[in-house]
Amino acid sequence: GKVLVTGANGYIATWVIHKLLEQDYSVRGAVRSESKATLLRKAFAAYGDRFETTVVEDITKAGAFDEAVKGIDAVEHTASPVYIATDDPDEVIVPAVHGTTRVLESALAYGSNVKRVVYTSACATIVHVQDAPYTFSEADWNDAVVAEVKEKGRAASQLAKYRASKTLAEKAAWEFVEKNKSKIGWDLVVLNPPYVFGPPIHDVAQSPEDLNASMRQWFQSVLKGPELLIDGGMCWTDVRDLAEAHVLAIQKQEAGGERIIVSEGPFKWQDFAIAASKQGIKVFVNDDSYNPTNATHHVIYDTSKIARIFGLKFRSIEESTADIIDDLRARGWI
Ligand code: NDP
């Protein structure tokens, strides 16, 4: 089959495309400009005409994906602003929400072959502040952050704006499906990853500052310190496992209509620092008394749904870190 991947030049999407092509799918990658399309075609040249590109300059415009969905069997929608520097919450929220609705509208109107749409949401739509350790599941929603951004507006933090954008976008997707259920010939799968780490294969210009947001944060926290904090941490997943989940999401019938948390488990930056030091990297370790086996994690995700539907085996912190370090060494950045 042929899969449309939006935000195709991104960190996660490039791995998704790679996995799809490796499993004999054809892929149409949607990006914002012809120069990005050219780079991407070069990166996937080995797959010949199984990889093609399309340019969608403005994903918020009515009919934005009308051409892009033609002849497509499944859609993977990943395009969304991630931690952009802006005061105006709408600059994050509008592309996240409208971009998602446009994809679904076009899939409804012109995606006559489309059987499934997979939307890359985030655990940002699930997690909310808790005083005590709490296990979140797919039943939880981060409505609090939407209210917070509504109240604070421009003064809300960058993180809050991002989280609100993802929450509103995922809600818009489920509402679209509910409203149009009698008309659509496809179903929706939503994947909710927490922090995503792992070696990048997308075009990263020339320095660690050019990494995508989550890997930039990994680089800073794990290798640069000294803001390495035992208390800092959330949950994570390796980008290659997340990409595999995107492939399974179009293959597994029973995934239809589900939101699915894709998480390896909790971490503290210290865990990655310890793993990096095993690779011969000198890191700032801020507390020698840290013992990973009795660390308390405040945010935990119930991963029983992904275990049941996908049966995916996740890479460990050690495996992922070893591969990140190899990649950064090859780039000459460490
Ligand atoms: P990247 O920044 O690497 O990729 C983001 C992609 O979205 C790029 O292709 C980018 O295109 C596109 N994009 C951003 N803003 C717009 C816009 N206004 N209009 C059209 N396209 C836009 O990030 P990731 O690969 O990490 O993120 C991909 C998805 O995964 C996002 O939806 C994100 O919310 C989600 N996610 C990521 C996590 C992580 O830790 N990395 C965790 C949880 C979810 P361009 O290059 O043209 O800007």
**Tens digit of pLDDT for each residue in 107-126?**
999 999 999 999 999 999 99
pLDDT at residue 291 in the model? 86
CA angle 100, 103, 106 (to 5 degrees): 145
Alpha-carbon separation of residue 45 from 7, 40, 42, 114 (angstroms): 18, 8, 5, 25
Spans of all domains in the chain: 2-198+237-263+300-314
CATH ID of 2-198+237-263+300-314, from 3.30.930.10, 3.40.50.300, 3.40.50.720, 3.40.50.1820: 3.40.50.720
Rounded to two decimals, what is the model's pTM?
0.98
132/49: higher pLDDT: 49
Q: Out of 1-15, 102-116, 226-240, which region has the weakest mean confidence (pLDDT)?
A: 226-240
Burial of 156 (0-12, 13-18, 19+ CB in 10 A): buried
How many whole angstroms separate alpha carbon 261 and alpha carbon 278?
Answer: 30
Q: Of all protein residues, whose CA lies closest to atom 44 belonging to ligand 1?
A: 122
User: With contact defined as beta carbons under 8 Å apart, do 25 and 115 qualify?
Assistant: no
- At residue 286, the pLDDT reads 65
What's the pLDDT at 229? 62
Using the predicted structure, report yes or no on whether residue 228 has a pLDDT greater than 70.
no
First to last CA, the chain: 41
* Atom 29 of ligand 1, residue of closest alpha carbon: 78
Index of the ligand 1 atom closest to the CA of residue 32: 47
Nearest atom of ligand 1 to the alpha carbon of 79: 7
Q: Per-residue pLDDT for 226 more than 80?
A: no
Whether residue 317 contacts residue 268, with contact meaning beta carbons closer than 8 Å, is answered with no
Query: What's the pLDDT band for 129 if we cut at 50, 70, 90?
Result: confident
Q: What is the mean pLDDT of residues 243-252?
A: 98
Q: How far apart are CA 111 and CA 103, in angstroms?
A: 10
Nearest to 188 by CA among 201, 199, 197, 175: 175
Confidence of residue 216 (pLDDT cuts 50, 70, 90): very high
Query: How far is 96 from 73, CA to CA, in rounded Å?
Result: 23
pLDDT of residue 235: 96
- What pLDDT shows up at residue 59? 98
In angstroms, the CA 189 to CA 260 distance is 8
Determine the pLDDT at residue 283: 82
Asked if 166 is an active-site residue, the reply is yes
- Token pair of 138 as six digits: 């797919």
- 268-305 pLDDT per residue, tens: 988 999 999 999 998 876 677 788 888 889 899 999 99
Lowest mean pLDDT among 130-144, 223-237, 315-329: 223-237
Average pLDDT over every residue of 6-17:
98
% of the chain residues with pLDDT over 70: 97
- Please report the ipTM that was assigned to this predicted complex: 0.99
Q: From atom 47 of ligand 1, which residue's Cα is the shortest distance away?
A: 32
Question: Regarding predicted confidence, which is higher, 131 or 90?
Answer: 90
DSSP state, 196? E
Q: Please write the tens of the pLDDT for every residue from 17-76.
A: 999 999 999 999 999 999 999 999 999 999 999 999 999 999 999 999 999 999 999 999
pLDDT at 62: 97
Residue 211 Cβ inside 6 Å of ligand 1? The answer reads no
Catalytic residue among 19, 166, 268, 305: 166
Q: What is the pLDDT of residue 231?
A: 67
Angle between helices 239-251 and 11-22 (to 10 degrees): 50
- pLDDT above 90: residue 152: yes
Q: How confident is the model at residue 225 (pLDDT cuts 50, 70, 90)?
A: confident
- Is pLDDT of 260 > 60? yes
Ligand 1 contact, 196 CB (< 6 A): yes
Q: Is the beta carbon of 198 within 6 A of some atom in ligand 1?
A: no
